[in-house]
Chains A and B, each alone.
Chain A
């Protein structure tokens, strides 16, 4: 089940930001204690939504069986079109609340892989079981997994590619120029191979709470060979949200290839039109700048590579390891706990929902590439799973 906030407010173009006023959530489904609740990555949220509730092509999701207990995956973003809620004039998403379980107070909606993982860790530390799993566009650290007795499975991969407004001034740049852009030592497109003398407006995802943001920052560090410090010309923005990019010919940001596919599929619609089904399909309005990468085959960045930045990263699901061995059955009359039902069954990997042909089809419909793997070998995390 897809759960998201209802947002109110008016769009107001002010500088680089789409400004919305946050408002309390009222209509989210309140999961029961027997439902399975997930939070976390923006990148993975559509994939998980499809896995839970099906896609717009009529492919049924797990909840389509109509079972008593359901999977409820709360979006990272407040907007169903994967848009964040910003303070008026701001670019950093505003925190918004969410009720993760029926009968509980609103929590801050975890926005991103890191935020989701932190929420799960806090849930564990508090001795509660509000959150069951976390979506992640980056792999949790071995330290976190060990310390919190977690288990991680990879369900898909997705490419992270630089993007700009379609028809805008952005161009594919070398890895070294990419670092220079984000450190603001090169600020004009003409300095990095472009033809426009206009100023580059780089955006980056939340480097602390977003898996995408962590991955991007770590890759910049790798290219530079030392820690990159985002310059004052660069601004944080909601990951994978093309709103800012398509509005500005000089905007420049990493983008999920899967999200771009989802836009191109016609999934997102214009919500400024009254909800009568007539809203036009949204286009991303952006172009992925693959540069010297061919056939969208990404090469992991290194300190010396001159290949245009493009990162293939895993999409992960993290949960308590103890849940995988729980004797509590997910559905009445069933034999599987929720982990075995949905994400991990060591004795029959092909039977878990995300790894069935139906599940993989839904992952593809969400824009990602199915790629299932248990990321733990015994008790040890597999690096770069």
Chain B
């Protein structure tokens, strides 16, 4: 069997496999330069490390591959050199020439240019390439693999027992086969981590002010000048070349030096024409230290966007009024202004309040909307007596940004305050009066105590066809009783406070004569009408509404014992309304006709029934 081995390549190695710490934008303080550096005798240049995403790696775990790529900082000067390079690790020994240090090969020999399209951060002189793989074919690059030896393995194979300035140091070399010189980087191992100590890495971070995006004041207007500030590794002198869309922006600018090491440049970015889409200008900066032992660095690109002003956003304004109804007392006005399309963005502007359509606002100075969208105005002196209708109006600071709006009117009335302030010449007195609860009564003269107080329907007459018995009698009349006399119908009197409504009802039982009976359903109260008393509150303009409670005769005559609640037959829970009033104060009479049928089978006798009038 033939065993075919393939080289696992780290170029596509997942980032997680490289547990290295990436170079961030923060300033990197370089450790002390190793005593054997710079070594221009043996070194063509230095080595920089990058992860698979192109981020520069300056420290990490010794138990993982160092990086995805080890990149030489200069080209191989040898004609006809191999297109392969490998990464080696060595143990520096004090007093021993670097060429005599012991070491081991960490990576496989890999072909360069690397098969890679990763855009590296930082600066790989002379320019930052679009990709590591895009470097010159003379630039050695080692593509590391997961199977490469780690620094931990190097440390095991060649322990560093130094206690001097060599303590913890190892040198990593990129070597091209057959060549006696190399590119090198020095790392220091502390515990389970390593950190680059040589070459010294610089950092460049670029910022633009005003911040992107910049909105033009007018559509298609001229962009404001942008100030570019490159923040550099502290205390490293040098110069900064700014770039605009990849082209040099003027001449290099000297770094300020010091702990806050910066360089600045101004530029007017490109902007859109009227109605045009936003335009992006890419700025970068490259820091070139004066001291060549520091590696130059380039910033990440700042994509600066200039855009036409956005359409004004609609707003809404509401209003809440706090007042006690008294003219002259404190009135507080509170308005909220809302951004309709983007509620999270508070409209910028002011609010004024207008009363009763006045063109002059209540507030002499517009009140700015605060960060929560609220504007308030307090009127300690209050407002005048009478009706008020206040409207809050929002006026944006920038009409191109927000649209004005106003609230619905807040309507209220204020009454006059006391005429004077109580004192020696003004003595307000306290008066009281009671309004009685009053009563609501209903009555008839027929209390049943004697014949004079009994309503008599008389003798029931046999109909001419001999099929029924019938009796009928007026229950009151349309004539007012004489002074002092009692009305023969229903008398209702309402003296209750509040002039409330009332409803009058009636119900009755069967007529009995011994064990004989006439079904109460055969009794009806018809022709029911009010009889108003002149000068009384209850009148045609404040009417009592009546209705009949008729029986079913002569068509239907209920036999004794037949169940039901027709006619006046009922109970306290089944009453029959016959009169109502919406505003019932006063006295009114109600009259009508009591009408009774009975079947011819009814035995002779003196029948008595009870009819109850109620009002509520």
Q: Is the CB of B139 closer than 8 A to any CB of chain A?
A: no
A318 at interface by CB-CB < 8 Å: no
Question: How far is it, in angstroms, between the C-alpha of A59 and the C-alpha of B111 when the chains are bound?
Answer: 9
**Chain A residues within an 8 Å CB radius of B8:** 357
Assess the B159–A335 pair: CB atoms within 8 A: yes
Instruction: Determine whether A222 belongs to the interface, using a CB cutoff of 8 Å to chain B.
Output: no
CB-CB contacts below 8 Å: B88-109 with A: 88, 90-91, 93, 96, 99-105, 107-109
Known contacts A60-B177, A357-B8, A360-B5; is-contact A54 B109 (Cβ 8 Å)? yes
Tell me if B147 counts as interface (CB < 8 A to partner A). Answer: yes
User: Which residues of A have CB within 8 Å of B84?
Assistant: 57-60
Closest A-chain residue to B111, C-beta based?
A58
| Interface contact B5-A335, CB-CB below 8 Å | no
Q: Are B7 and A357 within 8 A (Cβ)?
A: yes
The minimal Cβ–Cβ distance linking A352 to chain B, given in whole angstroms, is: 11
Give the residues in chain B near A370, CB-CB below 8 Å: 3, 5
Chain A CB within 8 A of B436 CB: no
- Bound Cα distance A369, B5 (Å): 8
B105 and A64 within 8 A (CB): yes
Interface string of B159-186 (1 = CB under 8 A from A): 1000000000000000111101000000
Name the CB-closest residue of A to B100: A68
Contact present for B99 and A66 (CB under 8 Å):
yes
Give A366 Cβ to nearest chain B Cβ, in Å: 13
B83, closest chain A residue (CB): A58
Segment touching A, from B150-158, B536-544, B568-576: B150-158
Interface contact B109-A65, CB-CB below 8 Å: no
Return A307 CB to nearest CB of chain B, in Å: 16
Q: Quick one: which of A64, A66, A67, A361 has the most chain B CB within 10 A? A: A66
Contact of A60 among B147, B153, B158, B175 (CB under 8 A): B175
B80 to chain A, nearest CB (A): 9
The residue that B102 contacts in the complex, of A60, A332, A356, A360, with Cβ under 8 A, is: A332
CA distance in complex: A369, B3 (Å): 6
How extensive is the interface on chain A, given as a class? 20 to 34
Determine the distance from Cα of A351 to Cα of B104 in the docked complex, in whole angstroms. 11
Shortest beta-carbon distance, B172 to chain A, in Å? Answer: 12
A217 to B84, CA, bound (A): 42
Contact check, A67 vs B102: say whether CB atoms are below 8 A apart.
yes
Q: Which of A60, A67, A333 contacts B86 (CB 8 A)?
A: A60
Given A333-B158, A351-B153, is A58 in contact with B82 using a C-beta cutoff of 8 Å?
A: yes
Inter-chain contacts of B85 with A (CB < 8 A)? 58
> Known interface pairs A60-B175, A68-B100. Does A333 touch B91 (Cβ–Cβ under 8 Å)?
yes
* CB neighbors of B among A330-361 (8 A): 331-336, 350-351, 356-358, 360-361
Cross-chain contact A59 with B159 (CB below 8 angstroms): no
Establish whether residues A65 and B88, one from each chain, have CB atoms under 8 Å apart when the complex forms.
yes
Distance of A157 Cα from B1 Cα, bound (Å): 8
Q: Smallest CB-CB separation from B85: which chain A residue?
A: A58
C-alpha spacing A234/B159, complex, angstroms: 58
Check B105–A65 contact: CB distance below 8 A: yes
Chain A nearest CB: distance from B455 CB in Å?
125
Task: Choose one: B86, B93, B153; the contact of A64 (CB below 8 Å).
Answer: B86
Question: Is A215 positioned at the interface, with any CB of B under 8 Å from its CB?
Answer: no
Query: In the complex the two chains form, is A60's CB within 8 Å of B157's CB?
Result: no
A94 at the interface (CB under 8 A from B): no
Q: How many A-B residue pairs have CB under 8 A?
A: 105
- A152 to B: closest C-beta gap in Å: 19
Interface contact A331-B102, CB-CB below 8 Å: yes
Chain B positions within 8 Å of A350 at CB level:
147
Complex Cα–Cα for A356 and B147 (A): 8
The answer to whether A333 and B105 touch across the interface, beta carbons within 8 angstroms, is no
A361 to B1, CA, bound (A): 17
Contact A59 B108 (CB under 8 A): yes
CB under 8 Å from chain B, chain A span 260-310:
296-297
- Chain A residue with Cβ nearest B102: A331
Q: Which residues on the A side are within 8 Å of B149 (C-beta)?
A: 351, 356
CB-based nearest B residue for A277: B80
Let me know if B108 and A357 touch, CB within 8 A: yes
A330, closest chain B residue (CB): B102
Q: Are B5 and A312 in touch, CB under 8 angstroms?
A: no
User: Is there a chain A Cβ closer than 8 Å to B145's Cβ?
Assistant: yes
List residues of chain B with CB within 8 A of the CB of A65: 88, 90, 103-105
**What distance in Å separates the Cβ of B426 from its nearest Cβ neighbour in chain A?**
109
Judge whether B425 is part of the interface by a CB distance below 8 angstroms: no
Chain A residues 160 to 187 lying within 8 A of chain B, measured CB to CB, are none
The number of chain B residues touching the other chain, given as a range, is: 35 or more
Q: Which A residues are in CB contact (< 8 Å) with B105? A: 60, 62, 64-65, 356, 358
Chain A residues in 8 Å Cβ range of B157: 334-336, 351
A57 to B176, CA, bound (A): 11
Residues of A contacting B86 with CB < 8 Å? 59-60, 64, 358
User: How far, in whole Å, are A297 and B147 apart by their CA atoms in the complex?
Assistant: 29
CB–CB B93/A333 < 8 A: yes
Residues in A neighbouring B88, C-beta threshold 8 A: 64-65
Cα(A297)–Cα(B4), bound, Å: 13
**A60 — which chain B residues lie within 8 A by C-beta?**
84, 86, 105, 109, 175, 177
CB contacts under 8 Å to A, within B1-19, are: 1-5, 7-8
Residues of chain A contacted by B90 (CB below 8 angstroms):
65
Contact with B along A196-222 (1 / 0, CB 8 A): 000000000000000000000000000
Across the interface, B158 reaches (CB within 8 A) one of A157, A297, A335, A364, namely A335
Instruction: Known contacts A58-B177, A358-B86; decide if A369 and B2 are in contact (CB<8 Å).
Output: yes
Select from chain A the residue with minimum beta-carbon distance to B103.
Answer: A65
Q: Which of A65, A67, A335, A370 has the most CB of B within 10 A?
A: A65
Instruction: Indicate if the CB atoms of A334 and B109 lie closer than 8 Å.
Output: no
**Contact across chains for A296 and B109 when beta carbons are under 8 A apart:** no
Closest B residue to A362 by CB, please name it.
B109
Assess the B177–A64 pair: CB atoms within 8 A: yes
Q: Say yes or no: A333 contacts B102, CB within 8 Å.
A: yes
Contact with B109, one of A58, A297, A332, A333 (Cβ below 8 angstroms): A58
A67 x B159 contact (CB < 8 A):
no
Residue of B nearest to A363 (CB): B5
For the complex, what is the distance from the CA of A335 to the CA of B157, rounded to whole Å?
5
User: In the complex, what residues of B have CB within 8 A of residue A59's CB?
Assistant: 84, 86, 108-109, 177
On whether the beta carbons of A357 and B5 are closer than 8 Å, the reply is yes
Quote the shortest CB–CB distance from B108 to chain A (angstroms). Answer: 5
* Residue of A whose beta carbon sits closest to that of B91: A333
Complex Cα–Cα for A65 and B100 (A): 10
Q: Which residues of B contact A356 (CB under 8 A)?
A: 105, 147, 149
B4 touches A369 (CB 8 A): yes
- Are B1 and A358 within 8 A (Cβ)? no
Q: How far is the CB of A312 from chain B (nearest CB, A)?
A: 7
Instruction: Kindly report which residue of chain B lies nearest to residue A312, judged by CB atoms.
Output: B1
CA gap between A278 and B577 in the complex, in Å: 133
Bound CA–CA A351/B153 (angstroms): 9
Residues of B within 8 A of A297 (CB): 1-2
Q: Are B177 and A54 in contact (CB under 8 A)?
A: yes
Q: Within A49-96, which residues are at the interface with B (CB < 8 Å)?
A: 54, 57-60, 62, 64-68
Question: Cβ of B3 and Cβ of A157 under 8 Å apart?
Answer: yes
Answer whether A357 and B2 are a contact pair too, CB < 8 Å, given A68-B100, A332-B102.
no
Closest A residue by C-beta to B148: A357
Query: Ordered nearest first, which 10 A-B pairs have the shortest CB separation?
Result: A58-B82, A58-B84, A59-B109, A331-B102, A369-B2, A358-B108, A58-B177, A60-B177, A333-B102, A54-B177
**A interface residues (Cβ-Cβ under 8 A, vs B):** 54, 57-60, 62, 64-68, 157, 159, 296-297, 312, 331-336, 350-351, 356-358, 360-361, 364, 369-371
New A-B pairs, 19, CB < 8 Å, besides A60-B84, A68-B102, A335-B157: A58-B84, A58-B111, A58-B176, A59-B84, A59-B177, A60-B105, A60-B177, A64-B86, A64-B105, A65-B88, A297-B1, A297-B2, A335-B156, A356-B105, A356-B149, A357-B108, A357-B147, A358-B108, A360-B5
12 A-B residue pairs with CB within 8 Å: A57-B82, A60-B109, A64-B86, A66-B180, A67-B102, A67-B103, A335-B158, A335-B159, A357-B148, A358-B86, A361-B7, A369-B4
